[in-house]
Structure 1
């Protein structure tokens, strides 16, 4: 947003102030300034001149030879403007003068010497009108430097709009002036306003607000006998310098007021608009906006209408059919306040973001609507004294913001700033910023002004910011903070998550991924993945991705699909959130899950499965010191991507915490037929419910141990956990540990049986075991197992 210091000086006395230093202080205290522009310094020796003679150029049909009286002399020059005529009073650049980058010299133009230049508004940089000469309508002595009545010289600075997002009061010059007045500790001049109360006996405008959810306030008034069509030159200069294109008096005034106090307004031709209805339509309609585009308006977009048809999109843009025309002499002036969210959503749906909508999106102060009308009337009546007001002020105030009162004391401010700011300075600062201050010694009770109460200042911490930023952050003494240091309590859950990530990333070479919390519906459909109905998002950015995920696996399989052409070996994991339906209180049953997927074109499906199984076991041993148990679980077969046979539930101390599965071949073929994919999903919340087993430390023997591998024939239906239970029943002093290393199944070789190869480690703390001792223990173990119908293969 561009800010004119000439405009600011109307409201704050800037005499004796270094403007560039002031702008730097504004950056430190209020909002970031991106750039500073010095306007008008490239205009020199341009004076008021009167054309006293016009002749055709002997060598050109488009050019004219003109004589211009500049008071001290009559100067001859060549002019190509189409609107040159005898008696026209124009800006004239004398020899030695400058207009922008052009230095004025005697130059031959089509064979005739020209000793100056008649100027257009564009050449002077005060508008984009280059259609002809600028005609000076006011009466000034010939030879008067135009800078004496045209505010060409100005310093304009550009504020970063992002730094004003939470400050709707700063989207106009008057709000900026209030900040500058507080910085300088100088008074802020009040706005000059017309008094609308004198017209209270006139008929009111027929206005009805039908959608009270989207309209906070709607004010309007009508005026007639408007004779002036063009804005004063200094108004056009300010609009141009601030990035607005001058159009006509009434349109310029609405833009001028929007730039001055931040309140958008709209002027309708009162011949075409007699009454106002503010509403939404029950079905989509087409509407021709001011930019000449026919737009389709949906049922959620708030519209300004007359009795029969729409005339404007509320808060965004007016319609072409009701706009101000060259012959307009009467107007209906609208000044309203709309719901910020509604305006933003409508602007996004229409793809139409305007200066007005960008301000309404910031949650404007409803108290400004009448002020804007009274300011508009004052400016218009000063420009066109014959204007007549033809109605009373109509003001529908639908929604009032609550009055915000904040209580605090000096000690509170000192605690958070670490410096001693006097109570008098606090009071002065807050009053300068528009706060109502009630003070008893060092105790304060302040009322937040309406222009800061829509969403900005709500709590005591905001008051700390207001005081310190005006005091000046650069004035703070740099020193160490004195505060009590207390140890941070570690979250066991957070530490466990970090250990899981570290283990999977370092030992198993997996990559951590991050994803959205919703299903990618289109991708799931492409892969053949069916997801069950779950919580849906209202007004999702992407309409098809509106379902919150209940499981993480489809997301991870999507990552596999997107990377399969690049990486033949993949391992990835994510600790993220899912929503498993709703709880009894109606809130989402939010769960934290660990999802893991391994994929390989080189390893067999079995090898990939057991690699993931090993990773899960290692995670649980590392986190809980518990070896998980893998059991049959038919519940997981509800997912169509789970393998109907090669899948298992994961138990931790009889607590089910998740599952592991090979990818269903139907889904795998949609990804890549040669890719073997295995995945697992573990509920972190359920896992944390299981208490960790305390670690037990045992002295390491200094004597060598002996390892024995036994392939044991067991029933095909027996699980390893059952076999381990039988082994535990055998009392053996020197059996240090044992673990499964292989399972072999072949119905032809081992009908009804399978072979489990278990590795046994024997060791003594006192001596080296002899071979016959080892054999005796192995024989005893086999004899014990034989009673359970388990034999050595």
Structure 2
């Protein structure tokens, strides 16, 4: 955004101030300035001239020989402008003068000598109009330097828009002037406005705000007998310097007010628009905007309508059919306030961002609508004194922001700034910024002004920022602060999460991924994954992704599908959130889950399955010092990506904490037939309800132990956990440990049976065991197992 210092000077006196130093101060205290531009200093020696004679150029059909009266003399000049005529008053650059980069010297043009130059607006740098000479009003003495009545010299600084995102009050020159008045400690002049209450007895305009969620306030008034068509030169100069293109008086005035107060306005031709309805349309409509483009407007976009049809897209752009033209003599002036989110979404959907929408998106102060109208009327009446106001001010104020009151004391300011700012200075600063301050000794109560209360100043910390930025961050003394520091103690749950991540990353070379909390419906559909109905998001940015996930596995399988062609081996995990329906209080039942996926083209289904089981066992043993157990669970069949057989619930101390499985073949075939996938999902919060077992230490024997592998022939339905139970029946002081080594199944060799290879370790703390002792203990163990129908495979 471009800011004119001439404009600022209208509201606060800048005389005697170094402008570049002031702009630098503004950067340090308020918003970042990107650049500074000096305009008009390259214009000199340009005076008021009057064309008194025109003759044809002997060597050119397009050029003319003109005589220009500049007061002190009549000068010969060659001119090619198509609008030249006798009596025209124009800016004339005299010999020795300068226009932009051009030094004015005597020149021969097509064989004729020219002693100066008649200028267009573009040559003077005040507009893009190069169609002809700039025609001046015949009110200035000939020979007058145009800088005496044209504000050509100006300092413009460009503010970074991003730094104003939370400051809607700074999107106009008056808001900037308020800041500068505080920085310079010079008073801010009130706006010169028309008091619209004098028109209260005039007829009201028929206005109805039908959508009170998207429109907060709609103010309007009608004016007739507009005779002037062109804006004053200095208004056009300011608009040009600030990046706006002058159009006509009424359009320029609305743009001028937007640049001055930050309040967008729109002028309708009153002959075409007499009634206003602020609403969304019941069906999709095609609407041609002022830029001549026909746009499709949906049913969620707020429109300004007359009795029959839309005339403007609220907060964005007016319509072509109701625009102000050179024939317009009466207008209906709109000054409104719309919901910021609604304007932003509508502008995005339409692909149409304007100066007006960019301001509405920042959450404007609704109290601005009437001052903007009153200021508009004042400027219009000064330019065109014959205009008449033909209605009372109609104001539909449907939604007001709450008044924000903040209490604090000087001790709070001292604590957070680390410096001693006096109570008087605190009060003076806040009052200058527009806050209403009540003070009792060092205790303050402030009421936030409406232009700062829409989204900016809401709590005590914001008040600290206001005080310190005006005090000057560069005035702070650099010193160490004295604060009582206490260490942040991480919870056990947080420590466990870190240990899980560290273990999965370092020991198992797994990659951590992050996914969205909603289902990616398109991806799930492509993979054939069916998810359960769950909580849905209202007004989701992407309509198809509007369901909050209740399980993490579809998200992780989506990552596998996206990378299946790029990598034959994948291991990934995520600790993220899901929502398991609603709680009794109506809020989401949010759960934290651990998701694990192993995908491989080298390992078999069985191998990735048991690798996943191994990881779960190692995790639980490391975190809880408990080895989990696994059991079949029919309820897992509700997930169509879970294998109907090769899946199991994970239990910790008898409490179910999750499940693991290989991928259902139907889903696997859609991803990659050669890619074998296993996955697990653990409910972190349920896992944390299980208390960790204490670590038990045992002395290590100094004598060698003996390991014996026994291949046990068991029924096919028997589980290894049953073996564990049976072995516990054998009481032997030398049996230190045992674990499963392998499972062998072959229906032809072992019909109805399977072979489990279990490794047993025997050790003594006092001596080396002899072979006969080992044989005896093995026989005793087999005898115990034999009672349960388990025999040694031969």
TM-score between the two structures when normalised by the length of structure 1: 0.98
1:703–1:298 distance in 2 versus 1, CA, 3 Å: same
* Paired residue secondary structure (1:367): helix
Aligned to 1:131: 131
Alignment correspondent of 1:17: 17
Deviation of residue 496 (structure 1)?
A: 1.1
Over 3 Å counting, the alpha-carbon distance change for 1:88 and 1:551 in structure 2 is same
In the alignment, structure 1 residue 719 sits paired with structure 2 residue 719: yes
1:158 is matched with which residue?
Answer: 158
More off after superposition, 140-149 vs 564-573:
140-149
How far apart in 1 are the matches of 2:694 and 2:97? 91
Q: SS of 1:321's equivalent?
A: helix
| Alpha-carbon distance, 1:310 to partner | 1.9
Q: Which residue in the other structure is 1:638 paired with?
A: 638
Aligned to 2:662: 662
- 2:428 and 2:486 mapped to 1: Cα distance? 38
Distance (whole Å) between structure 2 residues aligned to residue 701 and residue 734 of structure 1: 11
Shift of residue 138 of structure 1?
Answer: 4.9
1:518 paired with 2:518, answer yes
Distance 1:514 1:66 in 2: 76
1:31 aligned partner: 31
Distance 1:6 1:696 in 2: 82
Q: Which runs of 4+ in 1 moved over 4 A?
A: none
* Partner SS for 1:399: coil
Query: Aligned partners of 2:153 and 2:770: how far apart in 1?
Result: 105
Question: Map of 1:177-196 to 2, 5 A cutoff?
Answer: 177-196=177-196
Aligned counterpart, 2:376:
376
What residue number does 1:266 align with? 266
Match in the other structure for 1:423? 423
After TM superposition, give the deviation of residue 112 of structure 1 in Å.
2.6
Q: What's the secondary structure of 1:123's corresponding residue? A: coil
C-alpha deviation, 1:425, in angstroms: 0.3
Hey, what's the Cα distance between the residues in 1 that align with 2:164 and 2:623? Answer: 48
Query: More displaced, 779-788 or 669-678?
Result: 779-788
> Shift of residue 435 of structure 1?
0.8
Shift of 1:76: 2.3
- In structure 2, do the counterparts of structure 1 residues 734 and 376 end up closer, same or farther at CA, with 3 Å as the change threshold? same
Give 2:69's aligned residue: 69
Counterparts of 1:510-659 in structure 2, within 5 Å, are 510-659=510-659
Aligned to 1:208, the other structure's residue is in SS state: strand
Following superposition, the deviation at residue 108 of structure 1 comes to 2.9
The answer for the alignment partner of 2:696 in structure 1 is: 696
Number of aligned pairs?
793
* Alpha-carbon distance, 1:344 to partner: 2.0
Cα offsets for 1:728-787 (capped at 9, x unmatched): 222222222211111111122222221111112222333333333333322222222222
- Equivalents in 1 of 2:226, 2:400: separation in Å? 34
Query: 2:288 is matched with which residue?
Result: 288
Task: Give distance in 2, aligned partners of 1:656 and 1:113.
Answer: 101
Deviations 1:698-722 (A, max 9, x none): 2223332222211112222111111
Unpaired runs of at least 5, structure 2: none
SS at match of 1:122: coil
2:244 is aligned to 244
Report Cα offsets for 1:208-247 as digits up to 9, x if no partner. Answer: 2222332222211112221111111111011111111100
Structure 1 distance, partners of 2:218, 2:471, is 38
**Cα distance in 2 between the residues matched to 1:429 and 1:341:** 32
Give 1:80's aligned residue. 80
1:282 Cα offset (Å): 2.0
Structure 1 counterpart SS, 2:320: coil
Cα displacement (A) at 1:423: 0.4
Q: CA deviation at 1:326?
A: 0.4
The question of 1:400 aligning with 2:400 is answered yes
User: What is the alpha-carbon distance in structure 2 between the residues aligned to residue 764 and residue 78 of structure 1?
Assistant: 119
For 2:541 and 2:93, the matched residues in 1 are separated by 57
Report SS of the residue matched to 2:192.
coil
Corresponding residue for 1:364?
Answer: 364
CA distance in 2, matches of 1:754, 1:207: 85
Per-residue deviation, 1:302: 2.1
Deviates further, 468-477 or 105-114: 105-114
Deviates most, 247-256 or 704-713: 704-713
The alignment partner of 1:599 has SS state of: strand
Residue correspondence of structure 1 range 65-464 to structure 2 within 5 A: 65-464=65-464
331-340 vs 627-636, which moves further: 331-340
Greater Cα shift, 129-138 or 416-425: 129-138
- Call closer, same or farther: CA 1:771–1:150 in 2, change over 3 Å: same
Q: CA RMSD in A?
A: 1.5
CA distance in 2, matches of 1:443, 1:622: 55
CA–CA separation in structure 1 for the residues paired with 2:439 and 2:485? 35
1:74 is displaced (CA, Å) by 2.6
Matched with 1:764 is 764
Aligned partner of residue 516 in structure 2, secondary structure: coil
- Secondary structure of 1:376's aligned partner: helix
Q: C-alpha deviations, 1:641-693, integer Å up to 9, x for none?
A: 11111111111111111111111111111111111111111111111111111
Cα distance, 1:145 vs structure 2: 2.0
When the two structures are superposed, what TM-score results if normalisation uses the length of structure 2?
Answer: 0.97
Residue aligned with 1:736, SS: strand
TM superposition shift of 1:300: 2.3
Counterpart for residue 468 of structure 1: 468
Q: Distance in 1 between matches of 2:464 and 2:54?
A: 68
Q: Deviations over 1:602-638 (max 9, x none)?
A: 1122111111111111111111111111111111111
For each residue in 1:417-455, what CA deviation from the matched residue of structure 2 results, as whole angstroms up to 9, or x when unmatched?
111100000010001001111112111111111111222
